[in-house]
Chains A and B, each alone.
Chain A
Amino acid sequence: MRFTRSTAVAALAVAALFSASACSADETAAASKDVEVFTWWADGGEKAGLDGLVAQFGTSCADYKFVNGAVAGGAGTNAKAVLASRLQTNDPPSTFQAHAGAELSDYINAGQVEDISAEYATWGLTSAFPKGLIDNITVDGKIYSVPANIHRANVLWSNKTVTAKAGITKDADTLDGFIADLDKLKAGGVAAPLALGKDWTQVMLLEAVLISDLGADKFTGLWNGSTDWKGADVTASIEKFKKLLTYTNKDRDTLDWTDAEKSIMEGKAAYQLMGDWEAADLDAKGFKDYGYSVFPGNGSTFQWLADAFVLPKGAKNVDGTKCWLKTVGSAEGQKAFNSKKGSIPARTDVSSDGFPAYQQAAMADWKSAKQVPSCAHGAACSQGFQGAIVSAAGKFSSDGNVAALQAALAAVAAQFAGKK
């Protein structure tokens, strides 16, 4: 009796299983039109930008249905953790967000994303994107991602009132001129004229100094292994970086970039090096009195980073994903996305009408400037490379040991640079 009862239960369970799988079979049939877009854009300007893209996707890819796979929180760390487990279990979303450039190399090496260089030609992206960008994102002659936007990393933001008070009338265009300005500010009673935050923002500053000292080509070479990290010119740059740290706030390791930005808004500091998302943030916080310039000595170098979308291997709806990627790369899609997110289109043929003043200036620069990638944001280096450099910069912030930092950077580069 007991036996039969348990058999009945088992049979019931099996039946339930079957019906469940029947359900999911139905769903897959219906789901073939779904394009699951995996991002960490869950709120603010990022969500607005995504909504703009989705609206565009709705008109140009009416056959397909957008499914929002956003995972919020942790500036993308939560999403990356979820993504890693989905990729490992062969359950990739239709497309996912990643930083264009070397940060993708982990996915490329693992064979988790598809080569889409053929689509680049058909969609006309090869000519629409500047050559510098195409060179930076090409791996062994293949391209794996479509950048949705461009951010600039090497921008120096300032509080106009504070600089005017110290008698600075013109933005410095060399590092030495910049240091002279910082001295003026210090003499005028601004104790820490250069606002700085914790480790990764310090890496951004170090990168900007390296661009000034080494120039665009040698700087790009640092990441692909053709420039030697042990060189005397790198030592000189690190010395200058150390000097710049003496003009910064001592509590830098406790501050995120928005905390450092606050001291600009309050007039406690005059300058901050930060990516161009600062413009959108200052505007949103109602602070109008800001100036911007390329980091002194960077000349016409445009240090970029970009959010991009990829075609994962084993994606369920390849045609739908391609339609999404095509939308992302199209002039209309880029305009819809970037006018809302506060970044600029990666294409050079999008009209700058209707963009705010800072973005119009950045779009003009993007066309004419020389493009170099940023490591602090994954365009120039893989995630492991980036993590090790950020850690080394964190140590330097507390001990200021130039030789140790250079040795560490060289060791990191030996482990990661140009490696596949």
Chain B
Amino acid sequence: MLVYGLIGWTINLSMQDRHNARDSKGFVGLDNYTKLFTDDINDRFLHSLKNLLIFTAVFMIGTLVLGMIWALLLERGARAEGIFRTVYLFPMAVSFVASGVVWRWLMNPGQDDNSGGINAIFHGFGLDFLQNPWWTDPDWGMAAMAVPAIWQLAGYVMALFLAGFRGIPDELREAAAMDGATTYQLYRRVLFPQLTPTVLSAMIITGHMSMKMFDLIMSVSGAQWITEVPAVYVWQTLLTSDYAKAAAISVFLLIVVAIVVVPYLVNVNRAEKRSS
């Protein structure tokens, strides 16, 4: 109840002419929203959306691919599975702030003699062409920013997939084996189709996490133009007392997250009703 009240309050605020510490100068409807897209200095909001898009795409694909590979390896019966599971899952126990501080150092953009972190390793092995500016690259820097996030959540996605694999009844595998299916065919035709719901939930979870991404970015780069995403922009506008603008960005983010999450929730709800 409190949550919905606050959402309502924020939506109301986002339609007010309230851009400093003083009280609102009146109701302006959707003006604050249209201004975000048409009248933001340096297209700051569009820039932050673009950053978010790159980040989300890389983060989602990265966690899905890595998580799937790890899950497959374990599913095929790697030795000491318990240890690997723990190792892969462990990063999730670390907070984004703590890992961000470490990755800030690992992704030091200095090169050659000035290099530190990963670039220093490349330089040390004579792989100089692999050195790169990481998140300070103006176009694709956000892809580098997604690397720590992938590191942190790929293990979780792996756990989801592993649970998915384990949830498939052995009879199906046996039946496929009886029919003479090769291993490739077994996965391609029998096991992967069963994992579709798992993929969907993994995408929803990583997707909405990436849209709210704030702590990781703040601890790697701090709040600055080059890595700005909407969540950081909200923080910046709030600090400068531009309440209406901060509220408008927050509501926009909420709507985007809702578009992604709500159909999923509805779907899950229906599925549960059907099965009961």
Least Cβ distance of A406 to chain B in Å? 12
Least Cβ distance of A202 to chain B in Å? 10
User: Is B198 located at the chain interface by the 8 A CB criterion?
Assistant: no
User: Is A52 located at the chain interface by the 8 A CB criterion?
Assistant: no
Chain B, residue nearest A77 (CB) = B239
Is the CB–CB distance between B225 and A398 below 8 Å?
yes
Instruction: Give the residue of A107, A199, A388 whose beta carbon is less than 8 angstroms from that of B224.
Output: A199
The segment out of A121-129, A209-217, A291-299, A389-397 that lies at the interface is: A389-397
The segment out of A248-256, A316-324, A352-360 that lies at the interface is: A248-256
CB neighbors of B among A77-111 (8 A) = 77, 80-81, 84, 87, 106-107, 109-111
Chain A residues with CB below 8 A from B224, complex form: 198-199, 253, 390-391, 394
Per-position 1/0 for B10-45, Cβ under 8 A of A: 000000000111100000000000000000011010
User: Is A350 located at the chain interface by the 8 A CB criterion?
Assistant: no
Chain B residues with CB below 8 A from A198, complex form: 222, 224
User: Is A134 located at the chain interface by the 8 A CB criterion?
Assistant: no
Q: How far is the CA of A232 from the CA of B239 in the complex (A)?
A: 33
Is the CB–CB distance between A387 and B236 below 8 Å?
yes
Chain A, residue nearest B109 (CB) = A251
User: Is B242 located at the chain interface by the 8 A CB criterion?
Assistant: yes
Please judge, given known A-B contacts A109-B21, A253-B224, whether A388 and B41 are in contact too, CB under 8 Å. Answer: yes
Is the CB–CB distance between B138 and A254 below 8 Å?
no
User: Is B62 located at the chain interface by the 8 A CB criterion?
Assistant: no
User: Is B241 located at the chain interface by the 8 A CB criterion?
Assistant: yes
CB neighbors of B among A191-228 (8 A) = 198-199
Is the CB–CB distance between A391 and B44 below 8 Å?
yes
Is the CB–CB distance between B108 and A412 below 8 Å?
no
Is the CB–CB distance between A110 and B225 below 8 Å?
no
Chain A, residue nearest B241 (CB) = A106
Least Cβ distance of A268 to chain B in Å? 8
CB neighbors of B among A258-311 (8 A) = 268
Q: How far is the CA of A395 from the CA of B42 in the complex (A)?
A: 8
Instruction: Give the residue of B20, B21, B108, B138 whose beta carbon is less than 8 angstroms from that of A398.
Output: B138
Least Cβ distance of B17 to chain A in Å? 14
Chain A, residue nearest B139 (CB) = A398
Chain A residues with CB below 8 A from B21, complex form: 84, 87, 106-107, 109-110, 112
CB neighbors of A among B217-267 (8 A) = 221-222, 224-226, 228, 236-237, 239-242
Least Cβ distance of B131 to chain A in Å? 12
Chain A, residue nearest B115 (CB) = A251
Q: How far is the CA of A240 from the CA of B71 in the complex (A)?
A: 56
User: Is B276 located at the chain interface by the 8 A CB criterion?
Assistant: no
Q: How far is the CA of A87 from the CA of B20 in the complex (A)?
A: 14
Chain A residues with CB below 8 A from B222, complex form: 198
Is the CB–CB distance between A398 and B226 below 8 Å?
yes
Interface size on B, residues (CB 8 A): 28
Least Cβ distance of B187 to chain A in Å? 43
Is the CB–CB distance between B42 and A404 below 8 Å?
yes
Please judge, given known A-B contacts A106-B20, A109-B21, A384-B241, whether A253 and B136 are in contact too, CB under 8 Å. Answer: yes
Chain B residues with CB below 8 A from A110, complex form: 20-22
User: Is B114 located at the chain interface by the 8 A CB criterion?
Assistant: yes
Chain A, residue nearest B136 (CB) = A253
User: Is B110 located at the chain interface by the 8 A CB criterion?
Assistant: yes
Instruction: Give the residue of A84, A254, A415 whose beta carbon is less than 8 angstroms from that of B221.
Output: A254
The secondary structure that dominates the B interface is loop
The secondary structure that dominates the A interface is helix
Least Cβ distance of B237 to chain A in Å? 8
Please judge, given known A-B contacts A199-B225, A251-B136, A254-B221, whether A392 and B42 are in contact too, CB under 8 Å. Answer: yes
Chain A, residue nearest B238 (CB) = A81
Least Cβ distance of A248 to chain B in Å? 13
Q: How far is the CA of A108 from the CA of B114 in the complex (A)?
A: 47
Please judge, given known A-B contacts A81-B239, A384-B242, A387-B240, whether A253 and B226 are in contact too, CB under 8 Å. Answer: yes
Least Cβ distance of B247 to chain A in Å? 15
Q: How far is the CA of A256 from the CA of B114 in the complex (A)?
A: 16
User: Is A383 located at the chain interface by the 8 A CB criterion?
Assistant: yes
User: Is A411 located at the chain interface by the 8 A CB criterion?
Assistant: yes
Please judge, given known A-B contacts A109-B21, A384-B19, A384-B241, whether A395 and B225 are in contact too, CB under 8 Å. Answer: yes
Interface centre among B19, B226, B242 (most CB of A within 10 A): B226
Chain B, residue nearest A106 (CB) = B21
Chain A, residue nearest B39 (CB) = A411
Chain B residues with CB below 8 A from A391, complex form: 41-42, 44, 224-225, 228, 236
Chain B residues with CB below 8 A from A111, complex form: 22
Per-position 1/0 for B109-140, Cβ under 8 A of A: 11000100000000000000000010010100
Least Cβ distance of B230 to chain A in Å? 14
Chain B residues with CB below 8 A from A268, complex form: 114
Chain A, residue nearest B107 (CB) = A254
Least Cβ distance of A200 to chain B in Å? 9
Is the CB–CB distance between A383 and B226 below 8 Å?
no
Least Cβ distance of A250 to chain B in Å? 7
Chain A residues with CB below 8 A from B236, complex form: 387, 391
Chain B residues with CB below 8 A from A112, complex form: 21
Please judge, given known A-B contacts A199-B225, A253-B226, whether A411 and B41 are in contact too, CB under 8 Å. Answer: yes
Chain A, residue nearest B112 (CB) = A191
Instruction: Give the residue of A251, A383, A384, A393 whose beta carbon is less than 8 angstroms from that of B110.
Output: A251
Least Cβ distance of A19 to chain B in Å? 28
Chain A residues with CB below 8 A from B226, complex form: 253, 394-395, 397-398
Least Cβ distance of B11 to chain A in Å? 19
Is the CB–CB distance between A254 and B109 below 8 Å?
yes
Per-position 1/0 for A5-23, Cβ under 8 A of B: 0000000000000000000
Is the CB–CB distance between A254 and B19 below 8 Å?
no
Interface residues of B (CB under 8 A from A): 19-22, 41-42, 44, 47, 104, 108-110, 114, 133, 136, 138, 221-222, 224-226, 228, 236-237, 239-242
**Can you give 14 contacting A-B residue pairs, CB < 8 Å?**
A77-B239, A109-B22, A110-B20, A198-B224, A199-B224, A250-B133, A384-B19, A391-B42, A391-B225, A391-B228, A391-B236, A392-B41, A395-B47, A395-B225
Q: Which 5 A-B pairs have the closest CB atoms?
A: A394-B225, A110-B21, A398-B138, A384-B240, A387-B240
